[in-house]
Structure 1
Amino acid sequence: MIKRTRAGALAAVAVLLAAGCAQTDANEIALNYSGGPIEGVNFLRCIKPNSVQPLGFDDSAYVYRYGQVPFDFSADPGAQRGPIEIVSRDNVKMTVSGIANFALNTTCEKLRSFHESIAKGYGIDFGDDNNPPGWKELTVRYVGQPLARAMNEAAQGYDVAALYNDAKTYTEWAAKVGTLAGKYIQELTGDQYFCAPTYRGTGQCGDMVLILQKPDPPDDMEKAMASRQTAKMQQLAQEQVNARVETELKSLRDLKGVLGAQWAVIYQLAKDGKVRTVPVPFGGNLNVTADN
């Protein structure tokens, strides 16, 4: 009797067994073990993507995702967890949704270590489920918790208004989250098991990619900040009107000093198109009529 065990990330039908063979597709990589409870379990090999590997009578094959894996923290029903709650420097609770994209470290040594030290204990079995409970529980523990810690630590440097309204502040905060998240995830797992989403088993592991939405304050505070922003814009518009009026008054005062009061008024009326002029004979009287 041939044994098989399937484990992985976002893979449907992880292992196909036909006539004692394990088959992986382009997005899968497998760990092949032999033995059982009596003779002990021994690691044999890694089975590369797009491979067919004969299996012994008492062999097991554990399959993992080869390529990008998303960790979704949002209100979406299919997310691994809900939005992450953070607290700003001025002690306001906010929520953040987003996605952490990564790839498993699929060098044979690292993948085996990840399987034996962490993943095996979660009993992950994909089967026909693209998001099995075991994988969800694992990623919440080893990605979600360190990510929440990083977000909160970074948020302590900023007030709620800046995190919500200021683009520069958001960019600085997100960059700090990325740096801290990588550090805390590796501290928790004990090794670099989560790499850049483009990683394919060779070269530098790299860092996971975070896509973070703007932190959201409570609804009542969001409305209050929107009202303050509207009032601020109205005040700015009024200040601009006041500045324009003051400039015009200064111009009139300057004209009065140069032309005299009567001619300053005439000049301004002519400038505004409110004066009708007619030819006057030399030596005659000048009459100016302002339009209503």
Structure 2
Amino acid sequence: MRFLKALAAVAVLVLLTGLSAGCSVSVAPDHKGIEYNAGPFSSTKFDACGNGRIWHGPGDQVFTYPIGQRTYKFGDGGDTDALKVVSRDDLELTVEGVATFSLNDDCATLRKFHEEIGLKYEAYEEEGWGKMLRTYIGAPLDRALDEVSKKYPWQDLYSDPDTKRKWESEVGAAVAAQVNATAGDNFFCAPTYNGTGECGAFLLTLQQPVPPDNVRAALAAAQQAIEDNNTQENRNKQIRTEIQALKELVKVLGPNGAVLYQAIKDGKITVVPVPQGGNLNITPTP
């Protein structure tokens, strides 16, 4: 019996020793980790936040999130497809671009983001992070683009640089408001965020909105017609100038003289100078 009690005591000691052994997670410089105590004999409770090496006990949980400048690209090769908007005159345009931002890495805010959003989407994993971005940045961005684009005619958006700059600025402000409303807090900040920078703002770069292929083809045809018309007008102007010059020749040389002059000028008649008193033999051309 004494042997069994001693063996049990040793087993409990080994178990407790194993549970007290610590582990660590190395958090990359461009990430920040948050740790929760979640041992077998305790409830899950927030413990620490930071980067570098985070020490934790058995059963504890560490979640890491990217910090610093990040992007959400929509378009060819991006995080999602190009977005569609409708102009004031009801033409659908395609828009590509990049939203650049930073995750708010203030520890209290990051913990709130994790508990309210990160856990739901598993945003501490690459696939979950992408899914979270499509919900909290992609969807608000789509709505903001629709809202602002309806203010402008499509030709101004497509071809006027000043309108494009104004539209881009308005969309950026609208995106920030939409994202904050969707997330419920300033979880996303300007890309220059360094702990004290502005949150609730984005750097948004939008490409020129593009109309459908058939509209662009029609625009190209119309532009070609304008260029052809300009070319013809210039040709007509040249012809009128030449006619006026011929009229002046007729006044000076008479009709026959003007014709002869023009034939000589065009190389149709060869003029050979003959010295006075010289002989000239002409061989008819067969």
- TM-score, structure 2 length as denominator? 0.72
Aligned twin of 2:98: 99
**Counterpart-to-counterpart distance in 1, 2:103 and 2:30:** 12
**Equivalent pair of 1:69/1:197 in contact (CA under 8 Å):** yes
**Counterpart-to-counterpart distance in 1, 2:193 and 2:137:** 17
**Counterpart-to-counterpart distance in 1, 2:65 and 2:217:** 46
TM-superposition CA deviations, 1:190-209 (whole Å, max 9, x none): 11111112223233336221
**Equivalent pair of 2:31/2:64 in contact (CA under 8 Å):** yes
3-state SS, counterpart of residue 57 of structure 1: coil
Which residue identity is paired with 1:92?
L
Aligned twin of 2:33: 30
Pair 179,203 (structure 1): closer, same or farther in 2 beyond 3 Å: closer
Aligned twin of 1:276: none
**Equivalent pair of 1:66/1:200 in contact (CA under 8 Å):** no
**Counterpart-to-counterpart distance in 2, 1:204 and 1:125:** 24
RCO higher in 1 or 2 (8 Å CA, sep ≥ 6)? 1
Report sequence identity in percent.
34
Cα deviation for residue 236 of structure 1 reads 4.6
3-state SS, counterpart of residue 38 of structure 2: strand
Pair 233,165 (structure 1): closer, same or farther in 2 beyond 3 Å: farther
Matching of residues 1-292 of structure 1 within 5 Å: 20-35=23-38, 39-48=42-51, 51-76=52-77, 79-126=78-125, 132=127, 134-205=128-199, 207-236=201-230
Which residue identity is paired with 1:66?
I
Cα deviation for residue 84 of structure 1 reads 0.5
Aligned twin of 2:276: none
**Equivalent pair of 2:22/2:58 in contact (CA under 8 Å):** no
Cα deviation for residue 38 of structure 1 reads 7.2
Which residue identity is paired with 1:162?
D
TM-superposition CA deviations, 1:234-267 (whole Å, max 9, x none): 44555567778899999xxxx9xxxxxxxxxxxx
**Counterpart-to-counterpart distance in 2, 1:38 and 1:160:** 64
TM-superposition CA deviations, 1:203-244 (whole Å, max 9, x none): 333622112111111111111112222323444555567778
TM-superposition CA deviations, 1:116-136 (whole Å, max 9, x none): 11121012353xxx5x1x122
Q: Which runs of 5+ in 1 are unaligned?
A: 2-17, 256-292
**Equivalent pair of 1:28/1:66 in contact (CA under 8 Å):** yes
Pair 38,243 (structure 1): closer, same or farther in 2 beyond 3 Å: farther
**Equivalent pair of 2:189/2:200 in contact (CA under 8 Å):** yes
Q: Greater helix share, 1 or 2?
A: 2
**Counterpart-to-counterpart distance in 2, 1:30 and 1:100:** 24
- TM-score, structure 1 length as denominator? 0.70
Which residue identity is paired with 1:95?
T
**Equivalent pair of 2:30/2:68 in contact (CA under 8 Å):** yes
Q: Which runs of 5+ in 2 are unaligned?
A: 1-14, 16-20, 249-286
TM-superposition CA deviations, 1:260-279 (whole Å, max 9, x none): xxxxxxxxxxxxxxxxxxxx
Cα deviation for residue 115 of structure 1 reads 1.0
